[in-house]
Structure 1
């Protein structure tokens, strides 16, 4: 099963899409969902797409998985960009350490549910 067919990848993509539709089109904002759901879903979606691209181009193909260090780097990178750099450049962005926790949870979810070799 490719990443793009993995239900543990598809569910975050679907939830993200539904949440964005509710917020942007319907104007429905559920406070906790609005504040943290996208942050929890970001890493499985970002890393899932990245993993699929790597599997298309890497010689190991479907056996390729990210080791822990690149996952840690991805989590730190997203956390620094979205929770330190962007808030320092514009008032639109807000620092929230709970977002960093959400990115970490999303990274762990990706590691244990999506970042698996395929037989």
Structure 2
């Protein structure tokens, strides 16, 4: 559970919530609306993946994602949201290569600042 209480993860989820609320109330936040969500995507998704791995797969709080895991998330989001979806649904999705750069920056941020082992507490469910 401590993985989900990472201060960066909590802050990023709150920021995404504010962006989402602003969008659905038709008051998008200028400049942040289009790009902040893309930066936040990789750290949030990777942190959820890290939590899942710690609880169900590795079963240890010291587990961290390997660089290949984070690269996979960045590539998946880039291909899905900046190539495939805009190609097949251009009326809904727009390809923006700036978003790919933001996915990469978000992945680097996650890997450097969030992908840390937790202190070993001796309890299996504390990750």
TM range (shorter): over 0.9
Deviations 1:75-118 (A, max 9, x none): 11110010000000112100000000110111111111211101
**In structure 1, C-alpha distance between the alignment counterparts of 2:88 and 2:30, rounded to whole Å:** 25
**Equivalent in the alignment of 2:83:** 84
TM-score, L = length of structure 1:
0.93
Q: Would the aligned equivalents of 1:3 and 1:114 in 2 still touch at CA under 8 Å?
A: no
**Equivalent in the alignment of 1:71:** 70
TM-score, L = length of structure 2:
0.87
Deviations 1:11-49 (A, max 9, x none): 110000011011112x11123111101101101111111
By percentage of residues, which structure has more helix? 1
The unaligned stretches of length 5 or more in structure 1 are: none
**Equivalent in the alignment of 1:4:** 4
Q: CA deviation at 1:58?
A: 2.6
Q: Would the aligned equivalents of 1:58 and 1:64 in 2 still touch at CA under 8 Å?
A: no
Please tell me whether Structure 1 or Structure 2 has the larger radius of gyration of its CA atoms.
2
Q: How big is the alpha-carbon RMSD for the aligned residues of Structure 1 and Structure 2?
A: 1.3
**Does 1:50 pair with 2:54?**
no
The unaligned stretches of length 5 or more in structure 2 are: 120-127
**In structure 2, C-alpha distance between the alignment counterparts of 1:11 and 1:59, rounded to whole Å:** 26
Q: CA deviation at 1:74?
A: 1.4
4+ residue segments displaced more than 3 Å: none
